[in-house]
Amino acid sequence: MTMRIVFLDRAIFADSVKLRSPSFNHEWSNYDVTDTDQIITRLNGCNIAVTSKIPIRAADMDALPSLRMIAIAGAGTDHIDLEAAALRGITVANLRGYAWRAVAEHAIAMSFALARNLKSYSNAVTEGRWSEADAFCWHGGGEIRDLLGSCFAVFGRGAIGAEAGRLASLLGMKVIYAERQDADKVRPNYVAFDEALAIADIISLHCPLIASTREMINETAFAKMHRRPILINCGRGGLVNEAALVKALDSGQISAAGFDVLSKEPPSKHDTNPFLKLAHRPNVMITPHVGWASQAAMQSAADMLIGNIEAFEAGNPENIV
C-alpha cells in the first residue's frame, strides 16, 4: 500500500532544512501554507497529515475517512481536536525536545539585549548621534543594567524553562521557578506565583498554552510586578493579555518586553494588536517566532518528524499525544 502524506505548512521550515524521504512506500505533497477552507480538499485521500499550526478539527476528520495519523511538526497541540482524533482512532504525535536549547538561548539573548538597551544604542550609531558626542562614548540611549545578581523568574519548568534557568544561573543571576497560578500548595524548590511576580527582575515565560495559563499575565499580574521587570515571552502569545501589556509598558509597571510570540501569528499588515504597534520602541523587542529556528534545531525537528512518521508506519508509534 502506498501511503499518502500531505504537509499543510512546509514553510515553517527554512529552505535550508532537508526533509528526508520516509523509508516506506509513499507519496508526499508539500504546501507552503494552507487556509482553513483548503484543509479538507488538500487532505482528501490522505493517510498522514503533517501540520505545524494548521488546525484539524472534528469536522475535518469526519470528511477524511482515510486519515490515520496527524504528525505535528512542533510541540503545541491546541490546534488539533485530540478527543475527536482518539474517538476516530487517529494517532497524533508531536515533537519533543528538539529546540529546548535554542529557545532558552533566545530568551537569554532577549534578556541581555533589553537589560543593556542594545536596540537604543545600536540605533544611535546608525542615526549618527555617536558622531555628535563630545566624549568617546554617548550615554543618551537609556539605562544599561547588568544581569549579574538579577532575579530571573522562570514560569514553566519544562525542558526549555529549566535550560533558561540553568543558563541564567551561569550568568550569575538568582534563578527562581514560579509555582502554577492555580496550585493548592507550593512545591519544594518553587516560589508562589504572586511572590515570583513581585521579586523578579526578569520574568521568562515557557508555559504551554492551556486553559489555566491563557492570559495568566494580565492587569492583575502586572500590578504585582513591584521591581519593574523585563518580561520575556518565548512560550505562547496567549499567555499574556496584550492590551494589559501595553498599559504596563506605558505606565512603567514593567521596564521592557521581549516577545518571540504573539496571540495571532503571523500578524496581518493591518493587524490591530496594540502591542505590535510598539515594536519601534527601544524597550520593546518582537521577533517573528524564530526562537526555535536555529539551523541545528530545525534540522533536528525535521528528522524527528520523519522519525515519528516511520515509527507509526512500522506499528510502533512514538511521541504520541
Instruction: Catalogue the active-site residues.
Output: 236, 265, 289
Nearest-angstrom CA–CA distance, 247 and 252: 8
Residue 107: C-alpha distances to residues 40, 85, 230, 295 (Å): 37, 34, 11, 17
SS3 83: helix
Closest CA to 152 of 172, 173, 181, 129: 173
Q: Omega before 266 cis (within 30°)? A: yes
Closest CA to 19 of 33, 4, 30: 30
The C-alpha cell 529549566 sits at 162
Closest CA to 253 of 218, 282, 229, 280: 229
CA 303 to chain centre: 20
